[in-house]
Amino acid sequence: MKGKYRPGIFVVVFAKTKKGIEYLILRRKLHWRGWEFPKGGLQGIEKVFKKIGVLREVKEETGLRVKKIKKFPIKGKYRYQKELKDRPSIIGQTFTLFAAEVEKGKVNLKKNKDAEHSAYEWANFSQALKKLTWPNQKKCLKVVDAWLKKVEN
């Protein structure tokens, strides 16, 4: 399959709670099934100013407002498992890793037929690590968790 990779972001969304750091994970239902954190392709000016894409993706996928954003020097790419009808000539996605702090709250998942996610969970590090589907996202969660432990102490 020939094609190109669309530029994108991974966003590890977290909240500081009385129980400690909790991570937001989403159950994917569009294109594949499993658990992930917010991610997505960048559009227009977001390709240059990626933090705008972080704000949009978190709001779009969760309804939550971002308080703080941290960019990490972690980049990667992955191929889609199959050709996606809504992304002709795109064979995968690149990503840059970000962390976004939010207030823990109710997540508003889209309920239409094109919705990407069917459920969400707030989880501690080990719970989130166990549930995440893809190794690249598990690695990104470990990077963000290590950074949070450093800045919290």
How far apart CA 10 and CA 40 sit, in angstroms, is 7
**Alpha-helical segments (H) within 31-120:** 50-62
Pairing of strands 66-79, 8-17: unpaired
Structural domain boundaries, residue 50: 4-152
Tell me what pLDDT residue 70 has: 97
> Under 8 Å CB-to-CB from 83, ≥6 apart: which residues?
1, 91
Nearest to 70, CA basis, from 90, 92, 97 = 97
Question: Which CATH number do you get for residue 137?
Answer: 3.90.79.10
pLDDT in tens, 26-67: 987 655 568 989 988 888 888 778 899 999 989 988 999 999
Low-confidence ranges of the chain (pLDDT < 50): none
Q: Residue 133 is encoded by which pair of tokens?
A: 């589907």
**Alpha-helical segments (H) within 32-134:** 50-62, 125-131
Domain count, the chain: 1
Tell me what pLDDT residue 82 has: 59
Tell me what pLDDT residue 39 has: 85
